[in-house]
Structure 1
């Protein structure tokens, strides 16, 4: 069956962004190691693949979402926030296939409320502490490179995140064979010309080095043209490159613009290096071990470059830390089974606590929530954590690092929400231990709260 003919104006409107939905992006790559494990069909994906569509409250009652057919109000009215995603405008049953899009849309709003900046993942395990204390934004000019001059791609290959070629370590055998047959085998002549240019540069550098050792001016040495590389010289240098796997891989990766490998992978091939040839190992990049990300490293979650700003409290002035986030304990610690870090659900993401949290170790009531399941609390145990950093890995997953906040920061935040009264709790603590040093008032002061949720205007019972 052929599609009905339309006028050029109608075809232009159909293809425009105003009257058409963007094509769905590829689904997140699966983890083959978990193929035999149970997974929920309703679990939220790592990142959205389709556009979220919303409408006004009055239009939702009538089922009007801007499409050619109305949607059932019984299904769309169950959502608190009107958000849907269209899987197919015209299905085989002549209906519009849609489902709720609140999962990713609300997660985006939660993440933006935390005022987090996406940082570059650590290049090595030893750099985890530096990435925690000295985060580097993914929008820095030396790493966020999408267009560069000829020759700049080699200088920034360990920093940039976008490459024309795929990441070979993450490809299956079938995809690798397709890539060889489609993109590599038909470029033999181009690679031969690229090798001749590289050999000509090496010979030019060797002649200039010889001139310097002889006390001559190296600038007067003429450059060797690629046409001067004969077949005998080319064959001899090719045999040398085949014996030096590291240098050969570097030339192939730069020719095909492949993502670089880590320094650990290079040092494993020291025995395959050419004899009497010095090699300078490249610095490991943030995307060398697990490959470059499939999207921009920020994933569109946040466009902030830094989080170095202070939150100003109306009574207590500038705060030392940002406001903590109330998180749910999803999986407590269980050292007997090898789980040393508790799993925390914060802002729609799953994070792990640090193994050396000092505040939790000193406060046993808080530590109990991370060491055993709380069956008495509805929805599970909850605890305030401070968000330290957020990164996006090569598979599109968001990794959030959390840590314990200072008790004073948690108390001030609870007071703002009306969950606690700072000075009343501090005065009780001072009366119970008058000889200790803390943030509370001296013993004997009246139990009076300076502020609460009502005085901040957060309560609906506030009188005008």
Structure 2
């Protein structure tokens, strides 16, 4: 049987890429501040909102991008990175509005070359940052999940990165009020039905404990069915919830599928405004036993997968094999640009690493400032860290070693770097004729017990990079 013929217009639409272009994401909101901000319409966004499209060289010479109409050759063939993003497929003037997508495309290419793994945010354990729990890989089986089986414990439920409800601690008062009016208020009857089920389970558990204590039978062997709840029993159960913050917060979180907070204290105020019922007793520190172990309890869950498609490796413990000197103790260092010296307008120092902005290494003494003699002018150990050096072609640069990265809920990449080792820098620059051994770094500090001590740490020498016999 002959196939049904397709009209030229239908064939064009079927072969067109217009149906495979996803809708653009919402642009990231700017930080609200009472002072004036400096924003640019042409600056690179923290994350892409349009899909990047490329085409083969044979089609590029014809202006064919698989769209409704051909694009002008003058603006597409002269670029060294022919990658575009479609802003509007067909405007009122019958033109295709597009722009270059080389910014995010090249940043992704550089990121893949650096091979930086993605980790979860550090969990704040105290006011001192060195005591915080280090982040884990986002691909660990315990946290790389979106759903849990029935009967799973609260710890496994909190480890998810995707929830149906919003993170209340990260909402403004207006966003919270809108969520209550549009989502929570209409589900009041459903929540009462949910509480009746929870009350039935609680009564069955209480009956099981009484039977186990009277008959001397193990509680695990007894599994009575859920009981029918009367109105009087339900009222008593609601009154008991008003006295127990932990149990109240757990039921509301389970019903609305809310992300965990750092503790019940941080969720006490929003939960009390959910218009379900007001607690009779105020929050007390003694009741705060529901500290979540979720890696996103302090920063909130991400909007997409925690890796954001940037990397799929679990660890940074990979071996770099140099073609001449063999295996190296560390990867090849990255040449970072000092984009904001200490003497800039904002007073902070920032580095540009592969298209991403990061701070200087915190634990490295060479990035800290020292007093030079009797003068009060700080003298940095890294050139170009205080003021801009106009005589440097391309700006001041310094070698760093990327360590790990985290994607926050706003879609921004938080990159952590360390200072590059001297031997790795010499191998990178080709200065391998003579590599002097690095002097030991001596730092003085105070131990936790209060006694002064002297620490001596030897840097990586030439032997670690295959430069010595």
Q: Same fold (TM over 0.5)?
A: yes
Counterpart mapping for 1:29-428 below 5 A? 29-33=29-33, 36-124=36-124, 126=126, 129=130, 135-152=135-152, 154-211=154-211, 216-219=216-219, 221=222, 223=224, 225-227=226-228, 229-263=229-263, 265-266=265-266, 272-273=282-283, 280-333=289-342, 339=347, 342-360=349-367, 366-415=381-430, 421-424=431-434, 426=436
Say which SS state the counterpart of residue 370 (structure 1) adopts. Answer: coil
Distance 1:272 1:169 in 2: 19
Root mean square deviation, CA, Å: 3.8
How far the C-alpha of 1:287 sits from its partner, in A, is: 1.5
Specify which structure has the higher proportion of helix: 1
Distance 1:212 1:250 in 2: 27
Residue 462 of structure 1 aligns with which residue?
none
Verify the 8 A CA contact 2:349 2:385 in the aligned structure 1. Answer: yes
CA offsets, 1:53-102, max 9 Å, x none?
Answer: 11233432332222232212222234211000001110111100000000
Distance 1:156 1:94 in 2: 53
Distance 2:104 2:159 in 1: 29
Q: How many residues align?
A: 422
- Give TM-score, length-normalised by structure 1: 0.79
Distance 2:166 2:15 in 1: 30
How far the C-alpha of 1:203 sits from its partner, in A, is: 2.8
Verify the 8 A CA contact 2:121 2:299 in the aligned structure 1. Answer: no
Say which SS state the counterpart of residue 110 (structure 1) adopts. Answer: helix
Change (3 A) 1:274 1:368: closer
How far the C-alpha of 1:44 sits from its partner, in A, is: 0.9
Verify the 8 A CA contact 1:196 1:226 in the aligned structure 2. Answer: no
Residue 460 of structure 1 aligns with which residue?
none
How far the C-alpha of 1:237 sits from its partner, in A, is: 1.6
Verify the 8 A CA contact 2:86 2:99 in the aligned structure 1. Answer: yes
Distance 1:69 1:146 in 2: 41
How far the C-alpha of 1:362 sits from its partner, in A, is: 11
Change (3 A) 1:362 1:155: closer
How far the C-alpha of 1:288 sits from its partner, in A, is: 1.7
Distance 1:73 1:22 in 2: 25
Say which SS state the counterpart of residue 237 (structure 1) adopts. Answer: helix
Distance 1:104 1:190 in 2: 45
Distance 1:90 1:190 in 2: 45
Distance 2:60 2:11 in 1: 29
Distance 1:437 1:288 in 2: 37
- Give TM-score, length-normalised by structure 2: 0.78
Say which SS state the counterpart of residue 405 (structure 2) adopts. Answer: strand
CA offsets, 1:10-29, max 9 Å, x none?
Answer: 49964997853122223224
Structure 1 residue runs of 5 or longer lacking an equivalent are 1-5, 416-420, 430-435, 442-449, 452-464
CA offsets, 1:13-56, max 9 Å, x none?
Answer: 64997853122223224322377311111111111111111123
Distance 1:34 1:347 in 2: 33
CA offsets, 1:367-391, max 9 Å, x none?
Answer: 2322332222123210000001111
Distance 2:224 2:12 in 1: 54
Structure 2 residue runs of 5 or longer lacking an equivalent are 1-5, 270-278, 371-378, 440-457
